[in-house]
Amino acid sequence: MKIYLVGGAIRDNLLNIKVTDKDWVVVGSNINSMLKLGFNLVGKDFPVFLHPKTHEEYSLARTEYKSGHGYKGFKYCASSTISLKEDLLRRDLTINAIAQDKLGNFYDPYNGIKDIKNRLLKHVSSSFKDDPLRVLRVARFAAKLKYLNFRIHENTLELMKIMSDSGELSYLKPERIWKETYNALQSTNPQVFFQVLKKCNALSIIFPEINKLYGIPAPSKWHPEIDTGIHTMLTLKIISKLTKNVPTRFAALCHDIGKGLTPQKLWPRHPGHGNAGIPLIKGLCNKLKIPNNIKHLSIIAASIHDIIHDIYNQKPKDILNIYNIIDAWRKPERVKQIALISEADARGRLTLEYIKYKQGKYFINMYKYISKLNIKSIINNSNLKGDFISKKIQDERLKLIKYFLKLKN
């Protein structure tokens, strides 16, 4: 029995990226032997074990072949006769098909180290096309490694197009799609994930709501890039520089989604696109089983992001209504989230990336000022009850907004 470190840990170590997880492959063993050594069997689809002390994952060397549709449409063979080279052959990219023994020696039959040096995302074999999830995985790796100038090999991109056009992506489970998307949204350049999906014809299948934005014009006066799909990607790029928070990034992705429903006769204007996008956001989040906190933030951002642009001209009661809509009193973090999304929208436009967006800080500072209101004092020192207390609190908040506006003018 021989044990090798494989996959992402080797790749990341060679790229000087912090290694967070280690995966191991076991050659020349079987399930019974692993159990006798104290390993815990946890794999449902194929034999995966947890080390009794480190709890790291150990998999028996195996081969796979396509037997049906989707991610789970595979049969596997895991036996003591499967070689390390055979196991590595089933993996997605050459940079993930490198093994290392306990002495530190590399085993690299598919030139993964060379592709790491050349910054290339390249499939290991033609069996790459058997797993539709790999389209999303490659897009995610492209997003993750963009800052290191990685690119997708043209043959791999061509395979991804074939896979998209085959209909196989429709068999992917929502949970798998969201997991890859979530991981991509954590990367430095999440916009690359969606750009790659667009390039290989997968965006129209996985995110038709986003894909539909391409080709839809906006007024050149406000949007020099004109195309709403391009604007959406620029917005996602900017928000990712402003925050690492995934819910905020996803909400920024969806902020203009309603423009996909604007009748062509109204182009390039999009009146009411914020509220028009709400059913689309709900549908997308329900389809991919996206957590409710992300869905609710996305709905709010679509509804009011452009109002923040005009915050200096809003009436006090309308400003108070914005804070009420986002439930700022119970969820104060949303104030900053909405401010950042609005900033990303304003700066996510061709030639406007570096503009100063003062409205966001103004919106945040006003909230901080209003939050000084002592709610407990109002409740304890008032003879009011029920809805009258709520109205009193609202009245006092409105007074503070008016006073804040006077201080700033």
Q: Enumerate the H helices of 254-351 as residue ranges.
A: 273-287, 292-309, 316-325, 333-347
Side-chain-facing half-sphere of 14: CA atoms under 13 Å? 22
Q: Which residues of 342-359 are buried (b: 16+ CB within 10 A; e: fewer)?
A: bbbbbbbbeebeeeebeb
Q: Are 195 and 233 in contact (CB under 8 A)?
A: yes
- CATH number of the domain bearing residue 53: 3.30.460.10
The whole-model pTM stands at 0.93
The DSSP element (H or E) to which 76 belongs, if any, is strand 74-78
Report the distance separating Cα 376 and Cα 385, nearest Å.
13
Residue 74: the pLDDT is 66
Q: Are 252 and 209 in contact (CB under 8 A)?
A: no
Q: Are 4 and 28 in contact (CB under 8 A)?
A: no
Q: Which residues of 240-255 are buried (b: 16+ CB within 10 A; e: fewer)?
A: bebbebbbbbbbbbbb
Task: Look at residues 85, 118, 151 and tell me which one is the last residue of a structural domain.
Answer: 118
Query: Average of pLDDT values for 92-115?
Result: 97
Residue 79: the pLDDT is 82
Structural domain contains residue 138: no
Lowest mean pLDDT among 113-117, 149-153, 279-283, 391-395: 391-395
Report the distance separating Cα 116 and Cα 95, nearest Å.
6
Structural domain contains residue 291: no
User: Whose CA is closest to 227, among 187, 195, 182, 183?
Assistant: 195
Structural domain contains residue 297: no
Task: Look at residues 118, 149, 166 and tell me which one is the last residue of a structural domain.
Answer: 118
Structural domain contains residue 22: yes
pLDDT tens, position by position, 169-188: 999 999 999 999 999 999 99
Kindly state the percentage of the chain with pLDDT values over 70: 98
| Cβ count within 10 A of residue 128 | 21
pLDDT band at 264 (very low <50, low <70, confident <90, very high): very high
Report the distance separating Cα 305 and Cα 257, nearest Å.
12
Structural domain contains residue 391: yes
Question: The tokens of 193 are what?
Answer: 């994930």
Q: Which residue range(s) make up the domain with 82?
A: 1-118
Q: Is the dihedral of CA 302, 190, 161, 289 positive or negative?
A: negative
Structural domain contains residue 66: yes
Backbone φ and ψ of 142, nearest 5°:
-65, -40
Q: Are 297 and 248 in contact (CB under 8 A)?
A: yes
Residue 202 vs residue 72, higher pLDDT = 202
As for how many domains the chain has, the answer is 2
Q: Distances from the Cα of 127 to the Cαs of 39, 88, 92, 122, 168, in angstroms?
A: 30, 12, 8, 13, 14
Query: Average of pLDDT values for 339-349?
Result: 98
Query: Average of pLDDT values for 358-383?
Result: 90
Question: The tokens of 37 are what?
Answer: 């050594």
Task: Look at residues 118, 144, 176 and tell me which one is the last residue of a structural domain.
Answer: 118
Structural domain contains residue 176: no
pLDDT band at 287 (very low <50, low <70, confident <90, very high): very high
Structural domain contains residue 10: yes
